[in-house]
Amino acid sequence: MPAWLDGFRGRRRVESRLAQRLLSYPAYAAPHAGPPSRWTREQAQRNLQYLLDHREQRLAVIGALLQREGIDVQPALAGGDTAPLLSAVQRWALEHWPSIRRPDLISRDAWLRTTRDGGDIAHSMLMDLAILLGELIVRRRPSFQWGLDLDEVNGRDGMISFLRPVLLAPRQGLAPVPLDVEAIVFGRLRNIDSPTEALVDNWAQVVNDAVSGAYERVH
């Protein structure tokens, strides 16, 4: 049993099914770990290129994990209704993510610095799920594209999306809206023990709002 598994809270968490499956989960090996504030534009671009070059592979990785839970991602990725998939993934997260939620994984600073391997392997799963949600959007709303948040205003404001791979929603005459899907997925792990997580499916809301064009409207 790897030593890093001792980080899971209590014996019940060590023996959780998801924790066991993450032992053999392939790492999302982006070239540069954070924090993003230390990246050059070139380093940020290499991280984006890694996502673009490996997204099909990462969809297969998260798809295989979810398939073992009886969840098939292919119909939705092929253009079918996203609602059954999003509902199933939400139920799966609510059931299994509490077993891997530990303080170092849900620290925002630690997440921004993560290498997504070893004891941080759950962060690879989060990133892959973010890619899955992002691709559900991009394949239905091609105006969205994977890119970098290069808005200097966002950088000065300390937004965590700055220089990180995000989905960009264009707005006429204005800077694109960065939709930080990974941060949204991370937020669910961070808050998974909250009763409100079972009441509101924010992943479905994000996908539906993006596909409807809500993020692109200028108010």
Confidence of residue 5 (pLDDT cuts 50, 70, 90): very low
Question: Is 9 part of a structural domain of the chain?
Answer: no
Give ∠ CA 153-48-98 in degrees, rounded to 5: 90
Residue 45 has pLDDT above 80, yes or no: yes
Please give the C-alpha separations between residue 193 and each of 89, 95, 98, in angstroms, as whole numbers. Answer: 16, 10, 6
Q: Determine the pLDDT at residue 219.
A: 60
CA distance 121 to 100: 11
Residue 16: predicted pLDDT = 87
Return all residues near 214 (Cβ < 8 A) that are at least 6 apart: none
Two tokens, residue 132: 């899955």
pLDDT over threshold 60, residue 191? yes
According to the model, what pLDDT value does residue 86 have?
97
Full domain range(s) for residue 83: 17-212
Q: How many helices (DSSP H) and strands (DSSP E) are in the chain?
A: 11, 3
CB 167 within 8 A of CB 139: no
Residue 32 banded pLDDT, cuts 50, 70, 90: very high
Q: What's the pLDDT score for residue 14?
A: 39
User: In this model, does residue 15 exceed pLDDT 80?
Assistant: no
Alpha carbon distance 149, 159 (integer Å): 10
Domain count, the chain: 1
32 occurs within a structural domain: yes
Query: Does any domain span residue 107?
Result: yes
Residue 217 lies in a domain: no
Mean pLDDT over 26-30 rounds to 98
- Is residue 196 situated within a structural domain? yes
Whether residue 178 is contained in a domain is answered as yes
| Over residues 41-67, mean pLDDT | 98
DSSP state of 162: B
Confidence of residue 71 (pLDDT cuts 50, 70, 90): very high
Higher-pLDDT residue of 81 and 174 is 81
Q: What is the pTM of this model?
A: 0.91
Whether pLDDT at 130 is above 80:
yes
**Using CA atoms, how far apart are residues 38 and 192, in angstroms rounded to an integer?**
30
pLDDT for 218 equals 67
Nearest CA to 51 out of 130, 107, 121 is that of 130
Residue 198's pLDDT band (boundaries 50, 70, 90)?
Answer: confident
DSSP state of 160: T
User: Which residues, in sequence order, are bridge partners of residue 149?
Assistant: 162
1 part of a folded domain: no
Is 166 inside a domain boundary? yes
Judge whether 17 and 25 are in contact, CB under 8 Å: no
